[in-house]
Amino acid sequence: MEQTVQQPLAERQNLKIEGHLLVKCVDQSGIVSKLSTFLYEQGANIVESSQYSNDPEGGMFFIRIAYHIDNSKVAMAQMEQEFEKIAADYDMTYKFYYPTVKKRAAIFVSKDLNCLMELLWEWNNGDLHMDVPLIISNSEVARSIAEANNIPFYYIPANKEIREQVELQQLQLLEQYAIDFIILARYMQILTPQFVAQYEHRIINIHHSFLPAFIGADPYRRAYQRGVKLIGATSHYVTNDLDEGPIIEQDVERVDHRNDVAELKKIGGKIERRVLARAVRWHLENRIIVEGNKTIVFY
């Protein structure tokens, strides 16, 4: 059962959303009332509320609340502290977010620049509300694009023989730039479990959606030889299981026998760009709750 409640657009445009509250817990009566009453007593005005229960009889309950509140940082901290009592009573996993503070993203890329260029286009256009303090690559190809956007570029050659050494250097840069999350914009290197653990559910990847078919090199040629009818892309959070982390977004387009390998790659690249950009946007807007190896995404 899923329910979304929103104020009319004209009313929402007059409000500045300054807070997001994401909660998950065992479903039980009174949760929505408790949360809304708490926010009301804090002087908050709820502007959007989306909730989902996978089983009203003892299943899990998920909710995202966006609210506006006129308050100081000190009062925000006090509000979070007071919320701890409610969270303990209902055994909630929760997080407060303040979208006026931009998340800081590091973009990792190799030689394929399609996804990087889409992200930078949407970022420059104001559609991705984030800071991009640096771009890291195992190729020099993206340097000119980074410099054209006034973003520091770090070329760090990488392969499986020097992976740990490379990741140590990368982690030092991520700490130096106070990075909140990582976007793998077609970064063609496998990350170690130690690296992934530093950014759990904060590394977003993109790949074609043929998997588990056509694993490995040249998937579009093998897909063409097999006569596929759908081309797709998947964006997900990275885990230690290669390309099997919680899925954030997917999309597909139909193809047929008239599309050769080059056309399939071109179509696939377009889908990858838009799927990755949407996944990043939903992460930035705090619309995602991870539950096991799946996600609840409040569009």
The per-residue pLDDT for range 238-268, each reduced to its tens digit, is 999 878 899 999 999 999 999 999 999 999 9
Q: What is the CATH number of the domain that holds 71?
A: 3.30.70.260
- Work out how many domains the chain is built from and give that number: 2
Query: Can you state the angle between helices 261-284 and 219-226, rounded to 10 degrees?
Result: 120
pTM of the model: 0.91
- Residue where a domain stops, chosen among 97, 131, 146: 97
Q: Measure the CA dihedral 162/167/169/171, to 10°.
A: -170
pLDDT in tens, 207-218: 988 877 887 778
Same domain for 221 and 157: yes
- Residue where a domain stops, chosen among 59, 78, 97: 97
Q: Give catalytic status of residue 243 as yes or no.
A: yes
Same domain for 56 and 166: no
- Residue where a domain stops, chosen among 97, 131, 147: 97
Same domain for 220 and 188: yes
| Catalytic residue from among 243, 251, 256, 260 | 243
Same domain for 154 and 47: no
Q: What is the CATH number of the domain that holds 180?
A: 3.40.50.170
Segments forming the whole domain that contains residue 253: 103-297
Mean pLDDT of the chain, nearest integer: 91
pLDDT in tens, 120-154: 999 999 999 999 999 999 999 999 999 999 999 99
Q: What is the pLDDT of residue 16?
A: 57
Q: What is the pLDDT of residue 160?
A: 84
Same domain for 138 and 49: no
Same domain for 119 and 52: no
